[in-house]
Amino acid sequence: MTSSGCELKPARLRNGATLRALVRQFIDSRRTCGSDEMARFRKMDNFEACLKTAALSEMENGKMHRHQCRPGRVACHRASIALLEHSSILRGCRTFDELHDRVRETCLHLDRIGGLYYYDVAHRVGQYLQLEPRKIYLHRGTREGARRLGLDWHKNALEMCELPEELRDLTPAEVEDFLCICMDEFLGVRPSKQSE
């Protein structure tokens, strides 16, 4: 079950299963859920409320998003204070890359805060600012998913053109989710005949 309540049923890939089939299943079961979750941040009353909610990793039900359970509430609270002190800089970002970099720079010195946190905060705040990622940022789960798919997982981010053709039906944000959520299914997945 994902944090937004949508369930991605694990694909039971057998010999001959394709990456395209897994992507189609992901689109069918996850696309609406992901957009519903992000719509909440687009509708926030003001930038500071959006930034604080994103930084504290608060879901609509008041609980902490499972992505930030590892760093915990105290670390997220410290990060929220730092981010709110830099709200005017963050509000002035013109691209998702710039926003991601500013979030990272602001929180880099904080214990227990890392790549997944930078991306999640930037993605949520980016919704309010109407800034979408144009590349796939690699952090803990996405990096492992990229490695299992044979992609260049040593990079900080991948361009869409570096992905298998099958993944290009997804947005960069969806690819980020896909690499993380579906990574256990990648072993033994083969590209479709079209992209071989």
Q: What is the pLDDT of residue 13?
A: 43
Distance CA 148, CA 166 (A): 15
Instruction: Please say if the pLDDT value at position 70 is more than 50.
Output: yes
Average pLDDT over residues 71-82: 93
Tens-place pLDDT, residues 36-67: 779 999 999 999 999 999 999 988 888 877 77
Q: What is the pLDDT of residue 195?
A: 41
Instruction: Please say if the pLDDT value at position 3 is more than 90.
Output: no
Question: Cβ neighbours of residue 64 under 8 Å, at least 6 residues apart?
Answer: 56, 57, 58, 73, 76
Single pTM value for the model: 0.85
CB of 67 within 8 A of CB of 116?
A: yes
Tens-place pLDDT, residues 118-134: 999 999 999 999 999 99
